[in-house]
Amino acid sequence: MDRTPARPATRNSGDLYSQLFNAPAVPGGRRPDPQPTTQTHLNPGTAPTPGIPGQVAVPVAPVSLAASGLPLMQICHLVLKQLYLQGAALGIDLARQLRLPFPVVDEALLFLKDERLLEVSSGELIGRPSYRFSLGEQGRVRAKDAFEQCRYVGPAPVSLEAYVRQCSLQTVTGVDCDAKSLTAAFHDLVMRPGLLNELGPAVCSGRSIFIHGPPGNGKTLVAKGLGRFLNRFGGEIYVPYALLAENSIITLFDPTLHTATDTDEPAVPTGPVTERSRLLNENPIDLRWRKIRRPVIITGGELNLEMLDLRYSATGNFYQAPLHIKANGGVFLIDDFGRQIVSPRELLNRWIVPLEERIDYLSLATGKKFALPFEQLTIFSTNLDPRELVDEAFLRRIRHKIAIDTPDRALFTEIFRFSCQQRHIAFHQGAVDYLYTSYYDYGKPPRSSDARDLLEIIQSICRFRKQDVVLTEELLAEATHQFFCQT
């Protein structure tokens, strides 16, 4: 199957990309569940969990080498490298380290044994799962060769086809979003009336969002609030440790960015069934995947074009997925858009195809290209005028434009009151009146963040002086003098 089309294949081509990437639209924006052209195109498949709102399909463990979606030699190399590092291991422990059921790993062990690359030093009555395998002389040579080709050691990767299919089952557009749940996610923010009515449809569309407005008025907080909504109400999704694309391994699960809700080790069932015996048979969950909360990945002025490509390790000869691919199924926030070293036009040129077609094309070190899903809520946040950053053609590709403007007096008063409540400080209307008569009425625009920042300065002053926090005019004058840098 050709995996490097210059453009997505047509629906008549009958390949997996046609089935999954070019599925026709259906009412409500949801894509139909992809159907394989043939069973051999699919890795183990998925098993839906009925009756649980927000629950995505669970990747099902393969029952055979063919169902794993991996070539035999890929598993053989992982086995050889594990044994080279460990010296010897039980068959069932190799299966646990590769996160595959033993019958799948057993096919690789039989092949390596027939090739006289493995030796069996001991065994128990239950058969090969209890055999202790070690490398023979030729096995050590082959293991070194395997390390030269790729130094990745760990859970077996999933196939590209399996990853594409799983992404199509856990898109942001599949999350139920209504006023009640969205309000609950923003309970700790005071926002202008009508803002949630703009954010809700943007979430339902799963398309890109452009949040703009003066600095200090909560654009980043609003974007993080959307991420919190997906965390709390979007259900959990699955991300693989690694995937195999064009015979190259790409690591995907990142513990610094993904919040796992399962355990790193296969769970030990209660009762007479043990972990090892569970791995001998069909496992309902494919342990090559981690269950995580929908990710919220934030990048700012440090973003450059190189960070949007595969990161290749020349010494390890494998790749790490870029940030926006790790954000699939969640939120990818580009904060301070327009202040990156690279120009906004270059960034958006890089994302023209992903924003339009929900596919990104990545290049390997060999120059070969392949497609990956671009399935996340992409949020651009800027305090610059959008029309000065990009032209109308680019803005058209960002479907939702939401303004976060300077708060009026009534909204600022509510923000100040709420900030006092969060810090257990008694609110006084005179404090807000002082800010307006001393600063805001003379041309200095209020910012939503002023309440938080001024109260934190006042708390610091009072803590230093060992006195209770009371919003007196003297304290406000001292805090504003320090904060606004004005006489």
Coil, strand, or helix at residue 260?
A: strand
For residues 226 and 330, give the distance between their C-alpha atoms in angstroms, rounded to a whole number. Answer: 9
Main-chain phi, psi angles of 173, to 5 degrees: -65, -15
Residue-level pLDDT at 486: 60
Q: CB neighbours (10 Å) of residue 43?
A: 25
The enclosing H or E element of 279 equals helix 275-280
CATH of the domain spanning 71-156: 1.10.10.10
Structure tokens belonging to residue 108: 């690789």
Residue type, 144: K
With 0-12 / 13-18 / 19 or more C-beta atoms within 10 angstroms meaning exposed / middle / buried, residue 217 is buried
DSSP state of 13: G
- Angstrom CA distances, 47 to 67, 286, 323, stand at 14, 10, 28
Beta strands per DSSP E along 24-138: 46-47, 58-59, 88-90, 118-122, 132-135
- How many residues make up the chain in this entry? 487
User: Do 155 and 98 touch, CB atoms closer than 8 A?
Assistant: yes
Contacts for 192 with CB less than 8 Å, ≥ 6 apart: 405, 407, 411
Coil, strand, or helix at residue 389?
A: helix
Structure tokens belonging to residue 160: 């590209």
Q: What's the pTM value of the predicted model, to 2 decimals?
A: 0.78
Q: With respect to CATH, is domain 409-484 assigned 1.10.8?
A: yes
Residue-level pLDDT at 205: 83
Main-chain phi, psi angles of 276, to 5 degrees: -65, -40
Residue-level pLDDT at 302: 83
Nearest CA-CA partner of 321 in 380, 382, 376: 376
The enclosing H or E element of 360 equals strand 359-363
The enclosing H or E element of 429 equals helix 429-438
Residue-level pLDDT at 353: 81
DSSP state of 11: G
- Summary count for the chain: helices (H), strands (E): 20, 19
Q: DSSP string spanning 115-175?
A: TT-EEEEE--TT-GGGPEEEE-HHHHHHHHHHHHH----SSPPEEHHHHHHHHHHS-GGGS
CATH class, range 169-403: alpha beta
Contacts for 30 with CB less than 8 Å, ≥ 6 apart: 173, 174
13-44 pLDDT tens trace: 233 333 333 333 333 333 333 333 322 232 33
Residue 338 C-beta-side C-alpha neighbours within 13 Å: 15
List of the chain residues with pLDDT < 50: 1-53, 267-275, 277-279, 282, 487
Q: In the chain, what are the domain boundaries?
A: 71-156, 169-403, 409-484
User: Do 169 and 57 touch, CB atoms closer than 8 A?
Assistant: yes
- Angstrom CA distances, 343 to 218, 337, 339, 403, stand at 24, 9, 8, 22
